[in-house]
Amino acid sequence: MVLADYNDKNYDYTRYWDGRDYENASEYIALKSLLPSDYDESKKVIDVGGGFGRLLPIFKQRFGSIYIFDYSKKLLETAEENASKLGLKINTVNGDVNEISSLVSERFDFVTMIRVSHHLDDLEKVILQIKKILNKDGVFILEVANKIHFKSLISNIVKGNFGYFKKDSVSVATKDVTFLNHHPKRVEEILKKCGFKIEKKLSVSNFRHQFFKKYIPIKILLFLEKNMQKIGACVYFGPSIFYKVVNEE
């Protein structure tokens, strides 16, 4: 696995989100649907690959104890600064997600892992690591880059590339880094094999095309997005699939 260097002083990952208000808001919509709606001071959450703390505003409204795990010390420093601006005290842990269970001594009620799976060429190994830090009946929110989203589906059917629909992951990297789209059916097999029960799934960023973002007001796009997430999940429509799964063991 070759990761993008988020520690590079010349690369500001926060700038990645410039012009991606729709995608960011779409993920907020999904998480608000998958996470508890009420604040519970006793509940602990860890955001795996949480970077600069993009999701802190959501966690602040729901959890009394917040951890962020990331391999980038630079991003974790930014997360602490962002938490301070929100009046939050958070815990940060630096390390490799493939070894997270040996680096985190706590067990959690909720684990989130958003925009991380595309960097993982052994997703099952990491999911088993996540399981070790999750309480029994704890909830794991996993986002995966969807190999068979609608645009990809149509494109490969037109090309006659029917081998594309096998359950293996496919690299869509444009640089010398790991960036994998995963087949959701394979992801679901892995989750069940690892002892997780799938409670809910959502199709996210369903209207991510530049045409929609340019010509349709964002309020309308987000209204459509909110109503599409559950329906789209039935056919794996969008480029991201969010899973809410429960640790049964």
CA–CA dist 69, 52 (Å, integer): 10
* Domain spans of the chain, in order of start: 13-247
How far apart are alpha carbons 192 and 124 in whole angstroms?
A: 11
User: Mind listing the pLDDT tens digit for each residue in 15-38?
Assistant: 888 889 999 999 999 999 999 999
Per-residue model confidence (pLDDT) at position 152: 94
Average pLDDT, the chain: 94
Computed over its alpha carbons, how large is the radius of gyration of the chain? Answer: 18
| Residue 1 pLDDT > 60 | no
Q: What's the confidence (pLDDT) of residue 2?
A: 55
Q: What pLDDT, in 10s, does the model give residues 91-133?
A: 999 999 999 999 999 999 999 999 999 999 899 999 999 999 9
Residue 14: band (very low, low, confident or very high) from pLDDT cuts 50, 70, 90 = confident
CB 208 within 8 A of CB 239: yes
169: DSSP letter: -
Q: Check residue 5 and give its pLDDT.
A: 65
Q: Hey, what long-range contacts does 69-72 have (CB within 8 A, 24 or more apart)?
A: 69/93, 69/94, 69/95, 69/97, 69/100, 69/103, 69/104, 70/6, 70/94, 71/3, 71/6, 71/95, 71/96, 71/97, 72/6, 72/7
What span, in angstroms and rounded, lies between the C-alpha atoms of 66 and 43? 9
CATH 3.30.70.100 fits 13-247, yes or no: no
Cβ pair 221, 24 in contact under 8 A: no
Find all residues with CB under 8 Å of 32, minimum gap 6, and list them.
Answer: 58
